Structure 1
Amino acid sequence: MRTKLFILFAVFFGLFSTSAQNTADCAEKLSIFAELAKTKNYGEETYQHLQYLRKNCPTTGSAIYFYGERVINFRIDNAKSPADKEKEVRDFLLLQEEYLKHFPDKAKSIDVKKAMALFENNSGNPEEVYQLLDKAFKNDRAEFKNAKALYVYFEIFVNDFEANKKGIQLQDVFNKYDLISDKIDEEQKEVSEALDILIQKEEAGTELNDKEKRAKENNQINLDAFETIRTSMDAKIAQLATCERLIPFLGGSFEEKKGDAEWLKRAADRLDKKGCSSDPLFSKISDALHALNPTAESAYNLGVSFYTKKNTAKALEYFNQAADLQKDNTKKANVYYTIARNIYGSSNKVQAKTYLEKALAAKPSFGEAYVFLAQLYANSANDCGNDPFEKRAIYWLAASTARKAGTANGNAAAASYDKLAPTKTEIFNSGRAGQTISFKCWVGRSVTVPNL
């Protein structure tokens, strides 16, 4: 009996020692692999470490898969033939599946990553890409945050409709557009709110730390990306949803759907975006929606309806009502911007400025509002200032305002205004470097002449 117990203990101890040794070896291998990857050494040595870890130590750490993506992407980018690239792309997909298997709590957006690896490397086929994106959108919508992937998802669906595949109808395209557009709204709101907090902190005079500066820059990039995707989606659907096609299509469903608030909202929004709001159907739908369920959206649609009829007083009444009812700050800001741009515009700069400031109070990251306000300032060069130097000094105010937009459009506008402002030679000759110039016209702002 003692002999048997001794043998059993020896076997157990041996297994334990082997397991401990394997764990130590795996940890060492992962440490070496991670250090190589951190220095962007994605060559053959690093790849062999990755393959060893995948085979022998798959659960040692999620860093295997985090850095593994970079290594395999490097191999995809440097593949010597289409066949080699295809092999590496498929290995990338396999790596994602392994990640999900061993670290299900950490693996995010796996199907989106797989789909975009296929799409961006011309691998697989559109149907394979679509099925992965469709699965991700339906099963993991919260983590579907890739703007480009959202567009690819929509584009493939529209292409199938145009090719008469899968029995897809025009209404199906609209439904898909609405679903993806809602997702873009959600992502833009989340990013915009985070950006607004940072902008408000800066405007309060608190300097952002390095982490916050990176967050601000990334949020601005993401906002631009989602706006670009929305514009691309609108352009795609614009070819399908002309007023000539939309009006009879929606008009034919009105009687059946006039009690469906969601359908009425979507229909009114679609007609408005396509520039069909002058058609009587838009008024008909807007009236039905407001009577059924008075909301910020229904009030806004009635504002649009009256605006197209050139009844600006009623339009303003409903637009203000829409802004008052609106709980979403981004949408509230858009209503105020619509009033500034369409009701007042350049003909009443004072009121336009008032509503632009309301828009920016609701959404400090509203780039378009800054750009339009800058344009109003620039257009007043001949109306403000006591002499030619002061009149052109307003371009400094226009440039700084446009630059606050933080967008490519805003930066381009700022650059053009800078060119119209007084030159260094003119500043020197004026003797006004460092002085403050106040604009006592409608602008009510001031600028400091740059020091030389």
Structure 2
Amino acid sequence: MKTKVIILFAFTLVTFNGFAQSAANCAEKLSIFAEMAKTKNYGEETYKQLQELRKDCPSFDKAIYIYGERTINFRIDNAKTPADKEKEVRDFIKLQEEFKTNFPAKALGIEVKKAMVLFENNSGTSDEVYQLLDTAFKNDKDNFSNPKALYVYFEIYVNDFEANKNGIKLQDVFTKYDQISDKIDEEEKVVSDALDVLLQKEESGTELTDKEKIAKKNHQINLDAFETIHSSMDAKIAQLATCERLIPFLGASFDENKGDAEWLKRAADRLDKKGCSSDPLFSKISDALHSLNPTAESAYNLGVSFYTKKNTTKALEYFNQSAELQKDNTKKANVYYTIARSIYGTGNKVQARAYAEKALAAKPSFGEAHVYIALLYANSANDCGNDPFEKRAIYWLAAQTARKAGTTSGNEAASSYDKLAPSKQEIFNSGRAGQSICFKCWVGKCVTVPNL
């Protein structure tokens, strides 16, 4: 018995020493590999280190796969032939699968990564890309947040419909559009809510930390990306969902779905977005929805219905009711923005600005409202100011306002307004550099002439 215990102890000691030595070897190899990757040295020696780690230490540390992804991406970008690129793309996919096998809880969004490396490098087939994205959307939706991937997922589906592939029907396209749009809305809300916190902190006079400034910039970039993707999806489906096709299609399904609030909501939204709200079917659907379940959405649809009938008083009543009922700040901001643009527009700039500001009060990151207020100012150049210099000075105010949006469209608008404002030579000739110009018209704001 004593001999058996000694043998067992000796075996355990040898095994433990083996594991310890193996861990030490893995740590040393990873240290060398990580140092190479950190300095962006992605040459053959770095790749050799990665291959050894994948073979000998696959479950040692997730850093193997994080730095490994960068290494193989470099090889993909610098592949000399299509065959070489294809080989590296497939190696990237294999690396992701190894990551998922060894670190299943940390390997998030893997299917999306695999799909996009295929798509962006023209590898594989559209069916292969779609299947990966479809699997991710159905099984790992929380980690499917890549704006471009969401658009590719939708685009391939629409292309298959147009090519009469896989038995896809028009209603299937609408359903897919709704599902992906809802996901984009979710992601936009997460980003815009985070941005709102930072914007409100700035508004209170508290300076953001360096980390918060970077986060603010990233949030604005992401919001811009989601806005672009949403617009691209709308443009894609616009080619399919014409009023001529939508009205008979939805009209034929109305009786079957008039008790389904979700169907009525989707149908009303689709008709509204396509500019089909003047058709009696839109009023019919909106009335049915409001009677079935009075909500912010149904009140909004009735507002649109009355607006198309040129009854702005009733339209404003229902739009305001919709805004008051809204619990989602993004949707509330959209309603107020609709009032600003559609009910008042440039005909009543005071009220238009007031409702645009209500949109910003509900959602500080609602950049479109800043851009619209800037447009109202720019359109008042001939109505404000005592002389030509002052009249054109309002473009500085318009530019400042547009830049608050923090979006591409805001910056582009600001740049165009800057070009319309007085030039440096005109500022010099006027002798008003650094002075304040106040607009006594409806604008009621002041702007400082830039110093030379």
User: TM-score band, normalised by the shorter chain?
Assistant: over 0.9
Distance in 2 of aligned mates of 1:156 and 1:421: 46
- SS where residue 80 of structure 1 aligns? coil
Alignment-derived partner of residue 431 in structure 2:
431
- SS where residue 447 of structure 1 aligns? strand
- In structure 1, the gaps of 5 or more residues are none
Distance in 2 of aligned mates of 1:115 and 1:162: 22
**Counterpart of 2:145 in structure 1: which amino acid?**
K
Alignment-derived partner of residue 112 in structure 1:
112
Alignment-derived partner of residue 87 in structure 1:
87
Distance in 2 of aligned mates of 1:50 and 1:387: 70
What does 1:15-414 align with in structure 2 at a 5 Å threshold? 15-414=15-414
Distance in 2 of aligned mates of 1:449 and 1:271: 47
Distance in 1 of aligned mates of 2:271 and 2:402: 31
More moved, 335-344 vs 386-395 = 386-395
Distance in 1 of aligned mates of 2:378 and 2:122: 47
> What do residues 149-193 of structure 1 show as CA deviations (whole Å, max 9, x unaligned)?
111111111111112122111111111110001001101111111
More moved, 284-293 vs 440-449 = 440-449
**1:4: Cα distance to partner?**
5.3
**Counterpart of 1:262 in structure 2: which amino acid?**
E
- SS where residue 447 of structure 2 aligns? strand
- SS where residue 382 of structure 1 aligns? coil
Percent of aligned pairs with the same amino acid: 80
More moved, 379-388 vs 122-131 = 379-388
**1:14: Cα distance to partner?**
2.4
Normalising by structure 1, we get a TM-score of: 0.97
Count of aligned pairs: 452
Normalising by structure 2, we get a TM-score of: 0.97
Distance in 1 of aligned mates of 2:99 and 2:4: 43
- SS where residue 432 of structure 2 aligns? coil
**1:6: Cα distance to partner?**
4.3
Distance in 1 of aligned mates of 2:217 and 2:9: 61
Distance in 2 of aligned mates of 1:251 and 1:371: 37
**Counterpart of 2:192 in structure 1: which amino acid?**
S
**1:59: Cα distance to partner?**
1.5
- SS where residue 302 of structure 2 aligns? helix
**Counterpart of 1:9 in structure 2: which amino acid?**
F
**Counterpart of 2:135 in structure 1: which amino acid?**
K
Distance in 2 of aligned mates of 1:5 and 1:401: 82
**1:416: Cα distance to partner?**
1.5
**Counterpart of 1:270 in structure 2: which amino acid?**
R
More moved, 360-369 vs 417-426 = 417-426
**1:12: Cα distance to partner?**
2.8
> What do residues 248-269 of structure 1 show as CA deviations (whole Å, max 9, x unaligned)?
0000010110010000000000
Alignment-derived partner of residue 422 in structure 2:
422
**1:7: Cα distance to partner?**
4.4
Distance in 1 of aligned mates of 2:12 and 2:242: 76
- In structure 2, the gaps of 5 or more residues are none
Alignment-derived partner of residue 443 in structure 2:
443
**Counterpart of 2:106 in structure 1: which amino acid?**
K
> What do residues 56-102 of structure 1 show as CA deviations (whole Å, max 9, x unaligned)?
11121111001111111111112222222222111111111111111
Distance in 1 of aligned mates of 2:8 and 2:278: 89
Distance in 1 of aligned mates of 2:306 and 2:423: 47
Distance in 2 of aligned mates of 1:85 and 1:151: 24
- SS where residue 197 of structure 1 aligns? helix
Distance in 2 of aligned mates of 1:350 and 1:316: 16
**Counterpart of 1:238 in structure 2: which amino acid?**
A
**Counterpart of 1:95 in structure 2: which amino acid?**
L
Distance in 1 of aligned mates of 2:434 and 2:16: 77
More moved, 184-193 vs 157-166 = 157-166
**Counterpart of 1:126 in structure 2: which amino acid?**
S
Distance in 1 of aligned mates of 2:117 and 2:106: 19
**1:424: Cα distance to partner?**
2.2
